[in-house]
């Protein structure tokens, strides 16, 4: 049984925009809101009906917008609040939804609340952050170094789970809860349709268990944000790095009024021991992880967030697929593996034309705070060449480079020199070249999304795994009201696959027309019965 609310969400196909690198319309080398508006028809043509816009608020940009100085205003470089209003109205005209990025765990140190808070121990904002005379534990910042910073002005330490310029908000203070509720309401009143909630598992700390996430008040806090009648209808996806299944279920069961769904990262971790080191593991483990999630979500009427790429990881195709000779084949195979499942597809900019990792020889060509900090740390234990290799593999700048729309000047991203170096392969891998190619990843994505949109069996159908553990493939079925689809994705060099069916192949990436037989690497067949 699928609830009506979930049926609505299951029809979403969400495209993640990293605004800084998406499309520059005023020639300053930085992507902007008008640049997103300009590409709405393109996204519509792809088959997308919602956008998750990474933070575009006022920010000093230490963490590219995840350090917010004003939750209710737009970064000058990106445009104005009026531009965002226009974006919303242009999207709604096209029947598209806008999902904003909500960053509730921390602000920028430039935020008015922090400026006030650090002034004294007894001002109205003094308890908006976690202040102590001594560090309370040995928590580490995600961007290297201690998570506690001494502030001269106040003469105390404050907590920052990320950069020192990203102080953690104190959610134990009811005023903070109210402030973020108001931020949510502000954007909902403006017309936005949902939120992606940054590191949501961290807004309650578990001091007793010595953990900076999944604290005892987490559910209450999330419920305070999204369980209210006013916002109950919106779509919310939480970023959640912890993998406790019961927790996940409790967050995303509709009746609890918490989140619509959660990003889970275990399938990203299985290619790498850390984000920066590849592990020789195959797509089989990815299959097992996502198949488990499908079964669990189905049993409990939950929504699976279907994604491979985002702004925080190297490109999935470079981590888990073949980004060289078989780039088209593996890009399309990954699309079939993920986007015909039950859940909400998320596509990260550039993924729809098979963009890979980028390669750079010097750390000077990187911008991201995590990459730059960890590079220094790597260099303490290895040669610069080894360190840069790791950075090239795992850097968050891989997906953050200016979009390659064309093979022309600045990849068609901007008339001016872009804010950061272009992708190293933009002349070869760009939208224009892809669309003119016989093997077009874009066209395959468009076809997959059309199949999804037009078939209830793909939107709502039951999932069943056909492959056995030892098989080097992912074969699954989707069934709904007597109608069935079979999806075959082969991970091996060459494999004999035989499936009993009287159905027809409606899409494949090698031009295949007979279901059973020899499958080539990353070969896909989608069969309708
Ligand atoms: C999330 C964001 C990431 C950011 C961090 C701190 O993980 O996705 O980009 O650096 O939170 O806000
Ligand atoms: Ca611009």
| Percentage above 90 pLDDT, the chain | 89
Q: Quick one: pLDDT at residue 446?
A: 98
Residue 1 banded pLDDT, cuts 50, 70, 90: low
Give catalytic status of residue 198 as yes or no. Answer: yes
Tokens of 440: 């077009």
Q: CA–CA separation, 302 vs 3, rounded Å?
A: 10
> Which of 312, 368, 373 is the pocket-test mutation for ligand 1 (most atoms within 8 Å of CB)?
312
pTM, two decimal places = 0.97
Q: Provide the strand spans (E) within 231-343.
A: 235-239, 261-263, 272-274, 277-278, 303-306
- For ligand 1, whether the C-beta of 199 sits within 6 Å is yes
- Which residue among the candidates 32, 239, 309, 370 is catalytic per the annotation? 239
- For ligand 1, whether the C-beta of 51 sits within 6 Å is no
Q: Quick one: pLDDT at residue 14?
A: 98
pLDDT at 268 over 90: no
Q: CA–CA separation, 365 vs 425, rounded Å?
A: 14
Residue 278 banded pLDDT, cuts 50, 70, 90: low
- What average pLDDT does this structure show over 449-477? 97
Q: CA–CA separation, 123 vs 115, rounded Å?
A: 11
pLDDT at 147 over 90: yes
Is the C-alpha dihedral spanning 56, 62, 63, 66 positive or negative? negative
Q: CA–CA separation, 522 vs 520, rounded Å?
A: 6
Model pLDDT for residues 225-266, shown as the tens digit of each residue: 999 999 999 999 999 876 677 777 777 777 788 899 999 888
How far is the centre of ligand 2, averaged over its atoms, from the C-alpha of 19 (Å)? 10
| Percentage above 70 pLDDT, the chain | 97
Model pLDDT for residues 335-370, shown as the tens digit of each residue: 999 999 999 999 999 999 999 999 999 999 999 999
Nearest CA residue ID for atom 7, ligand 1: 199
Q: Quick one: pLDDT at residue 252?
A: 76
Q: Closest Cα to residue 18, out of 60, 64, 81, 50?
A: 64
Q: Residue 481 CB: number of other CB atoms within 10 A?
A: 9
Q: Closest Cα to residue 511, out of 502, 520, 503?
A: 520
> Which of 68, 198, 201, 370 is the pocket-test mutation for ligand 1 (most atoms within 8 Å of CB)?
198
Tokens of 293: 């999630």
pLDDT at 270 over 70: no
Q: Quick one: pLDDT at residue 458?
A: 98
Strand, coil or helix: 329 = helix
Model pLDDT for residues 79-92, shown as the tens digit of each residue: 999 999 999 999 99
Q: CA–CA separation, 423 vs 400, rounded Å?
A: 9
Q: Provide the strand spans (E) within 310-455.
A: 344-348
Q: Quick one: pLDDT at residue 281?
A: 63
Judge contact between 75 and 59, C-beta under 8 A.
yes
- What average pLDDT does this structure show over 156-183? 98
Atom of ligand 1 nearest to the CA of 161: 6
Model pLDDT for residues 505-514, shown as the tens digit of each residue: 999 999 999 9
- What average pLDDT does this structure show over 330-335? 97
Q: Tell me how far CA of residue 397 lies from CA of 93, 149, 255, 268, 362, in angstroms.
A: 33, 27, 38, 17, 13
Residue 212 banded pLDDT, cuts 50, 70, 90: very high
> Which of 55, 199, 203, 212 is the pocket-test mutation for ligand 1 (most atoms within 8 Å of CB)?
199
- What average pLDDT does this structure show over 180-192? 98
Q: Quick one: pLDDT at residue 178?
A: 98
Averaged pLDDT score across all residues of the chain: 95
- For ligand 1, whether the C-beta of 303 sits within 6 Å is no
Q: CA–CA separation, 44 vs 22, rounded Å?
A: 16
């Amino acid at each position: 049984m699928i609830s009506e609310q979930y049926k609505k969400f299951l029809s979403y196909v969400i495209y993640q925009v990293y605004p800084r690198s998406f499309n520059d319309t005023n020639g300053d080398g930085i992507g902007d809101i008008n640049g997103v508006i300009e590409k709405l028809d393109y996204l519509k043509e792809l088959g997308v009906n919602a956008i998750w816009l990474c933070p575009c608020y006022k920010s000093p940009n230490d963490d590219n917008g995840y350090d917010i100085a004003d939750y209710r205003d737009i970064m000058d470089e990106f445009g104005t609040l009026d531009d965002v209003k226009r974006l919303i109205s242009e999207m709604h005209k096209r029947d598209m939804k806008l999902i904003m990025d909500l960053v509730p765990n921390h602000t920028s140190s430039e935020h008015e609340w922090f400026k006030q808070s650090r002034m004294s121990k007894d001002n109205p904002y003094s308890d908006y952050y976690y202040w102590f005379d001594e560090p309370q534990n040995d928590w580490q910042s995600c961007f290297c170094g201690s998570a506690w910073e001494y502030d001269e002005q106040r003469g105390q330490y404050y907590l920052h789970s990320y950069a020192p310029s990203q102080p953690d908000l104190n959610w134990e203070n009811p005023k903070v809860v109210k402030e973020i509720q108001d931020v949510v309401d502000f954007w909902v009143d403006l017309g936005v349709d949902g939120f992606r909630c940054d590191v949501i598992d961290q807004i309650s700390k578990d001091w007793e268990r010595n953990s900076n996430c999944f604290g005892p008040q987490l559910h209450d806090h999330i419920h305070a944000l999204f369980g209210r009648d006013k916002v109950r209808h919106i779509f919310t996806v939480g970023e959640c790095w912890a993998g406790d299944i019961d927790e996940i279920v409790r967050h995303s069961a509709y009746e609890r009024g918490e989140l619509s769904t959660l990003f889970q990262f275990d399938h990203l971790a299985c290619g790498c021991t850390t984000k920066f080191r590849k592990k020789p593991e195959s797509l089989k483990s990815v299959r097992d992880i996502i198949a488990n999630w499908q079964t669990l979500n189905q049993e409990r009427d939950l929504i699976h967030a279907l994604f491979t790429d985002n702004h925080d990881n190297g490109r999935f195709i470079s981590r888990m697929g073949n980004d060289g000779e078989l780039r088209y084949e593996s890009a399309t195979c990954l699309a079939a593996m993920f986007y015909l499942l039950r859940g909400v597809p998320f596509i990260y900019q550039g993924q729809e034309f098979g963009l890979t990792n980028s390669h750079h020889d010097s750390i000077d060509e990187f911008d991201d705070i995590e990459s730059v900090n960890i590079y220094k740390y790597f260099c303490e234990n290895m040669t610069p060449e080894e360190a840069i290799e790791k950075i090239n593999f795992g850097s968050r700048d891989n997906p953050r480079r200016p979009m390659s729309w064309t093979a022309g000047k600045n990849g068609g991203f901007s008339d001016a020199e872009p804010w950061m170096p272009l992708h190293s392969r933009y002349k070869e891998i760009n939208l224009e070249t892809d669309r003119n190619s016989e093997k077009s990843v874009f066209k395959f994505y468009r076809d997959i999304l059309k199949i999804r949109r037009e078939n209830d069996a793909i939107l709502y159908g039951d999932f069943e795994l056909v492959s056995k553990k030892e098989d080097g493939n992912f074969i699954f079925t989707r069934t709904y009201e007597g109608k069935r689809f079979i999806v075959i994705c082969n991970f091996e060099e060459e494999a004999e696959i035989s499936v009993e069916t009287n159905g027809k192949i409606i899409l494949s990436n090698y031009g295949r027309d007979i279901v059973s037989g020899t499958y080539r690497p990353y070969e896909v067949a989608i069969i309708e019965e």
